[in-house]
Chains A and B, each alone.
Chain A
Amino acid sequence: MTQRKTFSWLFWLRTLTAWGVTFLLFFPLGWLVLTAFKTELQAISVPPLVFFTPTLENFEIVQERSDYMLYATNSLITSVASTILGLALAFPAAYAMAFFKGKYTKDILMWMLSTKMMPAVGALVPVYVMAQTSGLLDTRTGLVIVFTLSNLPIMVWMLYSYLKEIPAEILEASRMDGATLWNEFRYVLLPLTMGGLASTGLLTLVLSWNEAFWSLNLSAAKAGTLATLIASYSSPEGLFWAKLSAASFMAIAPIVVFGWFSQKQLVQGLTFGAVK
């Protein structure tokens, strides 16, 4: 009897603490969403307002002032395109490394990861010069190429760790039955790795959507992504909290909701399948 009592007491303490901590950690984000629906005056009221009549005017103003759709389209196109291109480059490589392991496979994998260790800013001047001379500055193509290359090491690693788990016998069996490389890929490998491809794609999508460094430095009015749009609100003249919040809300909502649905795949991908 007493034991049950302590159990339920602990149970409610745990529940309350969990909800309390969650409230604190989510608060800044929740506040951003609230502020997006306030007027500018309500946004900076002291003490802060929790109850108010919500308004949609900020969303309209952001639309009118800065052509949100253009930035959103740029974000969508660059992240989807770089994800597809990345998968197309990474998958064959990961396949070769997982099933035809050579003497240098491990070294190549480590080398790929090490290219990711260098701060992007280290390559800024050369990449900027190259983008400028090739006319790719402030173009979606330029951003797609840069996003793809900077995500490629992680993509190869993720796919490699998935493919490694597939027993080579399955592939050998299909080869014995006379399957061509394409058929083997299409009917044996692809169904088995859909999960891996999905998580890799999801993570790349999130990373490219949120990428700020290259988009801030290589794009402007034409190819600017949502990250660029938000950064423009950090200048003093753009400093209106309600509008900033509305713009931010529109920039993050798609990818956050997307992230909620794909967290399981993301974990598998991010930990290279080592944490299940």
Chain B
Amino acid sequence: MNRFIPRALMAPAVISLFLWMIVPLVMTIYFSLIRYNLMQPDQTGFIGLENFEYFMTDPSFGTAVMNTLLLLGSVILITVVLGTLLALLIDEPFPGRGLVRILLISPFFVMPTVNALLWKHMMMNPIYGVLAQVWIFFGGTPVDWLTDFPLFSVIVIVSWQWLPFATLIFITSLQSMNREQLEASRMDGANYLQQLRYLYLPHLARSVAIVVMIEMIFLLSVFAEIYTTTGGGPGDASTNVAFLIFKQALLNFDAGVASAGALFAVVLANIAAVFLIRMVGKNLDK
């Protein structure tokens, strides 16, 4: 009985998650090996690895992989660095800290589609956008952000959304620091930089690991922000792997090639997962 009950309790979650993983996976493998274009329903049949070849030799493919990694890397870097600075800035009490905390965290709760539209139209619009007006005010030429710097713009939007998350985690972690230890180090004549190096940053290590983990899970599949702002363009300038698969599936109606792409994404996700598991395993076991 003691063996049966835990298994019975786990079964619903494990089985449903297993089905959620395996059924689409098997179907994807099947689709990836056949000719399956919704626009040419009469052409079917087994074609082996042709879909894979098509997906991987597509000139967009290399760009999409690069963009995925660039987006992931820069957003993580920006949010961790700025998040740490912000958290250190508001760690000690000052007038209105409660309100500052609330305002700072807000972007995280805003749905990605709204974030994207807000930046696209009201901030980055080259004529009426607030940024353009600021540029003009300082005598500069307005920039057409989404056309001229599409990937950079997406990185800005996504970072803006995830910065509050990193800040919130870091500030919570800082609040749990041993105040007496900090006081003692100050008594011993440590300056702020030394405190930062030997007390604050080591204390933050674990929360950095967690922020990187959570962001990795969500940022590998950034979609809504690209869909609503640049549509992956111009050209492939802001297409990531997730968006490329979407393009094949719903814009080119080629379910076969999209499935091959999806399997590639699974491989990419698993490589990322291996890194994660090492990191998380090390950090959460303590």
Contact = CB atoms under 8 A, between A and B. Distances in A.
B122 A256 contact: no
Interface string B257-274: 011011101100110110
A221 to B, nearest CB: 17
Interface string B111-136: 11110011111110001101001001
Contacts of B214: 270
Interface in A232-276: 233-234, 239, 241, 244-245, 248, 251-252, 255-256, 258-260, 263-264, 266-267, 270-272, 274-276
A26 B228 contact: no
Contact of A31 (B105, B117, B130, B266): B130
B39 interface: no
B32 to A, nearest CB: 10
A118 B265 contact: yes
A197 interface: no
B31 A125 contact: yes
Contacts of B245: 119, 121-122, 124
A90 interface: yes
A35 B111 contact: no
Contacts of A217: 250
Interface stretch (A55-63, A96-104, A165-173): A96-104
A116 interface: yes
- Residues of B contacting A: mostly: helix
Given A15-B94, A119-B223, A212-B224, A256 B89 contact: no
A15 B92 CA distance: 10
B222 to A, nearest CB: 9
B92 A14 contact: yes
Given A149-B20, A239-B121, A263-B168, A92 B13 contact: yes
Contact of B119 (A14, A28, A260): A28
A70 B283 CA distance: 45
B246 interface: yes
Interface of B: 2, 5-7, 9-10, 12-14, 16-17, 20-21, 23-25, 27-28, 31, 86, 89-90, 92, 94-97, 100-114, 117-123, 127-128, 130, 133, 136-137, 160, 163-165, 168-169, 172-173, 176, 206-207, 210, 214, 216-217, 220-221, 223-224, 227-228, 241-243, 245-246, 249-250, 255, 258-259, 261-263, 265-266, 269-270, 272-273, 276-277, 280-281, 283-284
24 contacts: A15-B96, A18-B90, A31-B123, A32-B114, A47-B133, A48-B130, A110-B273, A114-B277, A117-B270, A117-B276, A120-B242, A121-B242, A123-B25, A124-B258, A124-B262, A126-B31, A156-B13, A212-B112, A216-B113, A216-B227, A241-B121, A251-B111, A252-B109, A256-B109
